[in-house]
Amino acid sequence: MNKLKKLKLNKIPKLKLKGRFKVLKRRPAPEERLKEAFANVPKITNETVAEHREDVLSSARKYIYPLNHSRKRIVIISSSIIVLAVIGFFVYVGLSLYDFQDTNGFIYGVTQVLPLPVAKVGSSWVSYESYLFELRRYMHYYETQQQVNFSTKTGQTQLDRYKQQAMNEVVTDTYVKQLASKYGVNVTDQQVNQEVSLVQSQNRLGTNMQEFNAVLNDFWGWNESDFKRELKMQMLQQAVVEKLDTATEQKAVSALTSLKHGANFATLAAQVSDDTSTKNNGGQYPNTITPNDPNIAPQITQILFKLKPGQYSGIINTGYTLEIVKVISRQGNNVQAAHISFNFQPISTYIAPLMKTNPPHYFIHL
């Protein structure tokens, strides 16, 4: 029994205290920790400042290099996106203009910024913007005032006709500019403003500019600046014809000389006037004329109402004709008058030779 107890006791493992409990160390006092921290701070002197600077810079370089590398990648990626976007934009614009021939406001705005050509006339480029400027006014008028639907087959046929008409106009304008440059003909903004003021003074543009702008917008989708742009081009065309058509001017001067030498106005009108509707009646207008008569050129009424009955005018240039007018009678703002009219040659007379020697080259198919 004692041996058994002794045997079992011998098999009981001894407790191993090592590793079961951590040895507790004394925590340093705050003063000791502070002293230890200052002891580990490197001492910088005049002799070691360069060495410490290099240590700091070398530690920073490992952060700067990845940053520079990332920045380069960002620049490359951003540049690539921009280049692709620009290429995509020009591809879209090119297809819209030259393949699909879009006329929407965005595409028109692009042509106002980018000088893209629609044709070439000799050494002159015809801008796509000028073509759309003319075409869009036709489209606006017929869509809003005539309710034409250009998406229908009939409407598309009409649109094709307006496209050709707009193209002919801008090509003609380009030839006119070439002739104007060759012969030193020019129309200033001041002349344009004077023409507008003349028409306004006779209430031909509405009672005020607000009403006039409303009419422009309703009928053509224009503003005042657009109207003056178109007017200036018309005046330049007229000025070129006036410069070149010396024969018509000579006829007018000859008629005025005859009147000054006592020729009868009605007889002379029947002999030389180009107005076939009035020449057989001594040049007399069929109806009385008022200051803002829409059937009479404003240049004529401006002079006509300054004359007394029996008096005749000098030569009046309306832009399309040269006129000599005479007041037969007057009652208030109603005048009975007669005229001798000489028509200028059409601009095509002077453009045709240019078109033969330098025909236009078109970049779109109409």
Note the pLDDT of residue 7: 47
Q: What are 140-171's pLDDT values in tens digits?
A: 999 999 999 999 999 999 999 999 999 999 99
How high is the pLDDT of residue 92? 95
pLDDT of residue 15: 46
Contact 287, 352 (CB under 8 A): no
* Main-chain phi, psi angles of 56, to 5 degrees: -65, -45
Q: What is the pLDDT of residue 161?
A: 96
Architecture in CATH of 105-244: Orthogonal Bundle (1.10)
Nearest residue to 127 via CA among 111, 107, 109, 105:
111
CA 293 to chain centre: 34
Q: Which residue type occupies 173?
A: D
pLDDT (0 to 100) of residue 198: 87
Strand partners, 342: 322
Write out the CATH class of domain 246-350: alpha beta
Other Cβ atoms within 10 Å of 222 Cβ, number: 20
What pLDDT is recorded for position 10? 52
CA angle 126, 132, 138 (to 5 degrees): 130
Question: pLDDT tens digits, the chain, 366 residues: what are they?
Answer: 444 444 444 554 554 544 444 555 556 666 666 566 555 555 555 556 566 666 655 665 555 556 555 677 778 888 899 999 999 999 999 999 999 999 999 999 999 999 999 999 999 999 999 999 999 999 999 999 999 999 999 999 999 999 999 999 999 999 999 999 999 999 999 999 999 988 888 777 776 778 888 989 999 999 999 999 999 999 999 999 999 999 999 999 999 999 999 999 999 999 999 999 999 999 999 999 999 898 999 999 999 999 999 999 999 999 999 999 999 999 989 999 999 999 999 999 999 999 999 999 999 999
Residues ≥6 apart with Cβ < 8 Å to 38:
none
